[in-house]
Amino acid sequence: MRSSLRVALTATLLLALSAAACTRTKAPVAPGDPGALVASDPASAPPQVSTGTCDERQTAISKEADQRAAPYGIVPHLEKNFSGGRISWLMKEAPYQNYVVKPGAKNFGRCDDTGCYLFASPSNVIEEAVNKSLLPTGAHDPAVLGQALGLPAANFEGPLRMMTLELSAAPDACARLPVDADPGVWKCQTPEDKDCFKFGGYTSGGVPEVMIINAPVEKAQVRELP
């Protein structure tokens, strides 16, 4: 009789302990509990875009530009406007022949002993502007193109070349926010000025832009615009 009672009591005790253990297991874990699962922090996740390969000089310039643009910067600028990873820019036919074709240039842009500097915009923005400007004859309307890009029509008169570059195909190029000291920069004198430089990653016409150092000629696709 006593033996049976002890067995029954033991079984009851085991069931109680098991239930208590289950209750503890199901209880919510406090945020500071070491056993809590750590959720990934979106702010600490690696960026989905790349600034390429920037040497010490360009890295320093990019850092200063980011500090000036804070809380903005090159990475959020690329994520917001260049997530497709493609850049484009336009050149008149004569400069294209004189500065790219004839000298057999390796990189696009204005070059000095620190590199070749090129202003570029998102391909989809340039493509849309170009397509809007096309006439039934196959030529383009410089006024329509200029209006779409917020720049003077004179910039787009005559035959043009449209270059497109996949940034992933140019890992040795460097991308950063353009700055006042970049080659070819002419600073705006008044808010109404067009075709001039305003710091912040956008042209005076409001089109996103980025500075690319050493964009390789051989990797770019070239489209003729009569």
Q: Give, for 96, the enclosing helix (H) or strand (E).
A: helix 93-96
Residue 67: which pLDDT band, with cuts at 50, 70 and 90? very high
| 3-class SS of residue 108 | strand
Number of Cβ within 10 Å of residue 121's Cβ equals 21
Site of tokens 């002890």: 6
* Residue 20 forms part of a structural domain: no
Q: Which amino acid is at 146?
A: G
* Residue 216 forms part of a structural domain: yes
pLDDT at 118: 97
* Residue 8 forms part of a structural domain: no
Q: How many domains does the chain have?
A: 1
Find, among 189, 104, 165, the residue nearest to 198 by Cα. 189
Q: Looking at residue 7, what DSSP letter applies?
A: H
Tell me the average pLDDT of the chain: 84
pLDDT at 45: 53
* Residue 66 forms part of a structural domain: yes
pLDDT at 105 over 90: yes
User: Of the given ranges (47-51, 115-119, 128-132, 185-189), which has the lowest mean pLDDT?
Assistant: 47-51
Whole-number Å distance between alpha carbons of 208 and 32 = 43
pLDDT at 137: 93
* Residue 17 forms part of a structural domain: no
* Residue 1 forms part of a structural domain: no
Q: How far apart are the first and last CA of the chain?
A: 107
Q: What average pLDDT does range 220-226 have in this prediction?
A: 96
- Number of residues in the chain: 226
pLDDT at 49 over 50: yes
* Residue 86 forms part of a structural domain: yes
Sign, CA dihedral 78-81-85-90, equals negative
* Residue 172 forms part of a structural domain: yes
Whole-number Å distance between alpha carbons of 216 and 108 = 6
pLDDT at 11: 44
pLDDT at 37 over 60: no
pLDDT at 55 over 90: yes
pLDDT at 46: 53
Q: Which amino acid is at 206?
A: G
pTM here?
0.77
Q: Looking at residue 178, what DSSP letter applies?
A: -
Find, among 70, 42, 63, the residue nearest to 200 by Cα. 70
pLDDT at 61 over 90: yes
Whole-number Å distance between alpha carbons of 54 and 64 = 14
Radius of gyration over alpha carbons of the chain, in Å?
30
Whole-number Å distance between alpha carbons of 160 and 140 = 9
Residue 19: which pLDDT band, with cuts at 50, 70 and 90? very low
Number of Cβ within 10 Å of residue 41's Cβ equals 7
The DSSP code sequence of 16-59 is: HHHHHHHHHHHSPPPTT-TTS--PPPGGGSPPSS--B---HHHH
pLDDT at 187: 82
Q: What is the span of the domain harbouring residue 60? A: 50-225
